[in-house]
Structure 1
Amino acid sequence: MGRARRFLASLSVQVLLALSLGLAAGMGAQRWGLPGGSATADMVQSLGQLWLNALRMTIIPLVFSLLVTGVASIADAARAGRMAMKAVGWFAVLILFAVVYSVAASYGLLTLFPIDAEGAKLLLAAAPNAGEVGGAAPIGEFIKTIAPSNPIRAAAEDAILGIVVFAVFFGFAASRLPERLRVPLTTFFEAVGETMI
C-alpha cells in the first residue's frame, strides 16, 4: 500500500495521469459532446491558454539566467586551467558536428523519402495563412536582429535569438568583474534559474 502511495505521489506519474485524463475527456467530448456546449469549450480553452501563458512567462528569465551563469562559470573555469579549455573546445566541436549532421541527415532523409508535389500542394492548401508566407529576409536584416538594441523589447516580443546573444555577452562581461561583484551577480541569476525551474 505504501509503495503504491509513493508511486502515485511522484510528480511524473501525476503529470502522466493528468495528461491521460485530459486525453480521455477530450475523446469523450468529441464523441458525446460537451455539457454546456460552446460555453464550456470556451472556458476550457481559456484555462488552457492561461496555463500555456504561465509556462511561457518563465522561459525568458530561465534561458537568460541559465546562459549568464553557464557562460560566467565556463569563463571562470577556462581561466583555471587547460582541462577546462579542452572541455570548451570539445563542446564547440560537438555542437558543430551536431549542426552538420542534422543538415546532412535532413537532406539525406529528403532524398530517400522525397515529398510528393501533389501532397505538398494539398498540405499547403489545408494550412491556414499559407498564402501569407513570404520570402526570407535578406541576410543583412537578419544580422541586424542578432544583437537587440533593446533587450527588454526583445524579451517582450519572444525574440529568443537576441536574448541568447545578450545573455552570452552579459555572462562574459560578468566573468570579467572582480570576485566581490561577480559572485553575488551569478548567485542571483542562479537563484532566478532555480526559481523558474
Structure 2
Amino acid sequence: MSSSDLTDKKGAERLALWIIVAMGLGIVFGWLVNTKAISVDMSYVTLLATLFLRAIKMIIAPLVFSTLVIGIAHMGNTGGVGRVGMKALGWFVIASLISLALGLLFANVLQPGAGAGLAPPTAEMIAASQEKLANFQVGVHDSGFVAFVTNQLIPTSIINAAGGNALGENKLLQIVVFSLFFGVALGSLGKSGQTLQDMIEQLSHVMIKITGYVMKFAPFAVFAAMAGAVANQGLGILLTYLKFILCFYLALVTLWLLLVAVGHFFLGRRVYSLLHEIKEAFFLSFATASSEAAYPKILDALDRFGVSRKISSFVMPLGYSFNLDGSMMYCAFAAIFIAQVYGIEMTLGTQIAMLLTLMVTSKGMAGIPSASLVVIAGTLAQFGLPVEGMVLILGIDRFLDMGRSATNAVGNSIASAVIGKWEGELLSEEEAARRKSALGPDA
C-alpha cells in the first residue's frame, strides 16, 4: 500500500469517525437544550446544517450534468447507452417492487399500529401541521402518472431545472433527462465534439474537487442536524413511537441484508469492500436525512472500488430518480401503519393496488427531505384512508427519514457496482487498489 493510499484511507476513516462522534454529540446537546439544562438559540446551531445542505445542492446540478454527460459520451454510441440504461431500469424496477413488498409484509406481520392506543389527531394538531406539510408539498406534485410525466420528467428549461423549485430543491430527474440527450448528442459528434467533451470533463474534475472541500464540513452539519432534531422533538418522541420505529428499522435491516446478499451473489466477497468504501456516505445520508447529500461521496467511493466513472456517473443519477429503496419501503409501511391506527382493514387486492401506485408516486423524491410525507398523504387520499393520520408520524419523520436515506445510498451503490461488472467496467481488486492509490488523499 502506497503512502498516498494509506493517507487516503486514514482520511476517509477519520472523517467517518468524526461524523459518528458528531452524531452522538448532537444528540446530547439537543437533549440538554430540550430539557432546558442549557439555553441556546437553536436557529444559530441549525444554520450549520442548512448551509451545508445548501452547499451540497449548489454542486449537485453541475456535478450530475458533467459526470453523466461524460459517462454517456465515453460509451460512444446510443446502443451502449440504451443497453446500460435498460439494465439499470430493470434492476430499479425489481428493487422497487421488493422494497414496497417488504414494507407491506412487515407492516402486516408486525402490526405496529394495531392497538397502539393513539388518539385520532385533534383539529388543533391538524392545523399546527398544515404549515409543515405545505412546505413539504413544494416541488412534489400530484401522484397521477400524467402529472408525473408532465411536471417531473421533461424540463421546459434546463436553467429552471437546475435552479429548482421555491425551496431551492434540484429537479434531479429533469437534469438527468437533459443530460441524457446532451451526452448522446455529444458522443455522436465524434472528433468534432472532442473539445467540448474535454471541457465538460474538466468541469467534472473541478466539481469533484469542490465536493471534497464541502465534505470537510460534514461533521459540523451532522452535529447541527442531530441537535436540532432532538432539541425540537426531545428523546421522548422516540419512546412514544418506539414500536413503530423499531418495526420500521427491523424492516430496513432486512432490506439491507437482502441488498448485501444480492451484491454478494454478483460481486462475491468484494461487496464487503464496497460497503467499507461507502460507509462515509452511509453515515452522512443517515445523519442529514438526505440521499442527495451522499451523492458526491458515493461517486468517489465507487471510483476507489473500481467502477468505471462512465458507468457510475450514468447509473447513479438514474438511481437517485428511480431507485429510492428506503423511501419506497417507508411509504408502504407508513400507509399500512396509519390504517392500523384507525382500525381500517385493507384487503390484499387494495394493498397490491397501493404498491403499484407507489411505484409511480415515489419517483422524483431524491434530495427532498420528508417528501415521502406528501407521497404518503396523496396515497392515503387515493385509497380512502384519513389523510389526517399524517400528523401521527409527522413528529418522528426525521428519525425515520435518516434510515431510509441511508438505505437509498446503499441500494444505489450496489446497483452501480453490479451493473459495472455486467458491462465489464469493474476493475479487478488489484487494479482497483492501484487506481485508489493513484487517486490520492483528496479522492
Taking structure 2 as the reference length, the TM-score comes to 0.34
Deviations 1:91-127 (A, max 9, x none): 6335313312422441354145237588799589769
Q: Does 1:150 align with 2:157?
A: yes
Relative to structure 1, the CA distance from residue 161 to residue 94 in structure 2 (aligned partners, 3 Å threshold; closer, same or farther) is closer
Query: Percent of aligned positions with the same letter in both sequences?
Result: 23
Q: Does 1:176 align with 2:180?
A: no
Pick the aligned partner of 2:104 from 93, 102, 110. 110
Read off the aligned partner of 1:107 and give its amino acid letter: A
Relative to structure 1, the CA distance from residue 30 to residue 21 in structure 2 (aligned partners, 3 Å threshold; closer, same or farther) is same
Matched position secondary structure for 2:129: coil
Relative to structure 1, the CA distance from residue 94 to residue 41 in structure 2 (aligned partners, 3 Å threshold; closer, same or farther) is closer
Pick the aligned partner of 2:202 from 188, 191, 197. 188
Relative to structure 1, the CA distance from residue 123 to residue 107 in structure 2 (aligned partners, 3 Å threshold; closer, same or farther) is farther
The answer to whether the 8 A contact 2:141-2:147 is kept is no
Aligned residues: 182
Q: 1:148 offset after TM fit, Å?
A: 1.0
Q: CA-atom RMSD, angstroms?
A: 3.9
Larger radius of gyration: 1
Pick the aligned partner of 1:25 from 23, 29, 51. 29
Deviations 1:32-59 (A, max 9, x none): 4333x4xx22221333322221222122
Q: 1:167 offset after TM fit, Å?
A: 0.9
The answer to whether the 8 A contact 1:72-1:186 is kept is no
Relative to structure 1, the CA distance from residue 53 to residue 105 in structure 2 (aligned partners, 3 Å threshold; closer, same or farther) is closer
Q: 1:143 offset after TM fit, Å?
A: 2.6
> After the TM superposition, which parts of structure 1 deviate over 4 Å for at least 4 consecutive aligned residues?
6-9, 115-127, 130-135
* Inter-partner Cα distance in structure 1 for 2:47 and 2:58: 16
Q: 1:175 offset after TM fit, Å?
A: 0.8
* Inter-partner Cα distance in structure 2 for 1:110 and 1:161: 27
Deviations 1:125-149 (A, max 9, x none): 7692398679935533433332212
Relative to structure 1, the CA distance from residue 63 to residue 196 in structure 2 (aligned partners, 3 Å threshold; closer, same or farther) is farther
Read off the aligned partner of 1:97 and give its amino acid letter: W
- Taking the TM superposition and a 5 Å limit, the aligned residue runs for 1:131-150 are 136=142, 138-145=144-151, 146-150=153-157
Q: Report what 1:3 is aligned to.
A: none
Taking structure 1 as the reference length, the TM-score comes to 0.69
* Inter-partner Cα distance in structure 1 for 2:210 and 2:121: 38
Relative to structure 1, the CA distance from residue 147 to residue 121 in structure 2 (aligned partners, 3 Å threshold; closer, same or farther) is farther
| Structure of higher RCO (CA pairs closer than 8 Å, 6+ residues apart) | 1
